[in-house]
């Protein structure tokens, strides 16, 4: 369980740094982000998102190199771990991607394939993959089309959207002005396309534990 604690520890440490960094992370911003999380929870997205026992919709998305990936084709080779991340601009996402990469051998040992989905434009997702030295598939879901099929998409509050736009240009990164993002959702999908593990949380600082993902994969055998 040491890897799990390390990931959780790093995420918590990052959150503490941001909370304590008065010059960069003001009390006003803290309140805005907290209100944003409350808004996500109240939106109904957690209740409407696909969950345990649901059929995972098929989809085709392209990776950063323009290669199309079809979910059901991947399921012919074994289970799929499907995880969403908000973007390379999100430090919590980068920590999570790092740990997923670190545990990729354990995931592969179960016969599963790991696929990450982001609403970022392909050039930006490629940059994230290269920065984190990712060896698993990263797909661009521009406009959150697939994310909406899975019910994991929500709309940012105007205040949070304004901070993101001023900070790194969310609309430019994603190629639209929808101010929509996916939950940091993770699913384990069996070869019958049935969801056997689901992690859903309104708080973007909370992520699926990698050890829980691997445990869910082992239970499929």
Which residue's entry shows tokens 């069996």?
Answer: 190
Length of the chain (residues) = 221
The pLDDT-based confidence of 69 (bands split at 50, 70, 90) is very high
CATH dotted code for 2-219: 3.40.30.10
Between 22 and 26, the more confident residue is 26
Q: Is the pLDDT of residue 78 over 60?
A: yes
* Mean pLDDT (the chain, rounded): 91
* 207 vs 209: CA distance, rounded Å: 6
Percent of the chain with pLDDT over 70: 89
Q: Taking a C-beta distance cutoff of 8 angstroms, is the pair 78, 179 a contact?
A: no
Query: Which pLDDT belongs to residue 26?
Result: 82
Q: Taking a C-beta distance cutoff of 8 angstroms, is the pair 196, 72 a contact?
A: no
Q: Where are the domains of the chain?
A: 2-219
Query: Which pLDDT belongs to residue 27?
Result: 84
- The two tokens of residue 118 are 């982001």
Radius of gyration, alpha carbons of the chain: 17
Q: What is the pLDDT of residues 122-174, one digit of tens each?
A: 988 878 888 778 999 999 999 999 999 999 999 999 999 999 999 999 999 99
Return the bridge partners of 60, or none: 70
């Amino acid at each position: 369980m040491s890897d799990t604690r390390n990931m959780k520890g790093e995420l918590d440490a990052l959150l503490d740094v941001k909370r304590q960094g008065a010059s960069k992370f003001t009390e006003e911003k803290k309140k805005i982000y907290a209100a944003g999380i409350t808004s996500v929870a109240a939106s109904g997205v957690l209740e409407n998102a696909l969950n345990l026992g649901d059929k995972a919709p098929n989809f085709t998305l392209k990776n950063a190199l323009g290669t199309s990936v079809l979910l059901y084709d991947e399921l012919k080779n074994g289970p799929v771990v499907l995880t969403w991340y908000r973007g390379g601009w999100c430090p919590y996402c980068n920590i999570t991607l790092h740990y997923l990469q670190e545990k990729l051998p354990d995931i592969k040992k179960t016969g599963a394939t790991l696929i990450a989905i982001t609403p970022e434009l392909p050039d930006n997702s490629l940059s994230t993959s290269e920065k984190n030295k990712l060896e698993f598939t990263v797909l661009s879901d521009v406009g959150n089309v697939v994310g909406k099929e899975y019910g994991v998409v929500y709309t940012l509050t105007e205040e949070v959207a304004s901070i993101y736009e001023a900070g790194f240009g969310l609309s430019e990164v994603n190629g639209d002005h929808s101010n929509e993002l996916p939950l940091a959702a993770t699913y384990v999908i069996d070869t019958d396309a049935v969801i056997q593990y689901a992690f859903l949380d309104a708080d973007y600082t909370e992520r699926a534990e990698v050890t829980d993902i691997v445990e869910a994969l082992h239970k499929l055998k």
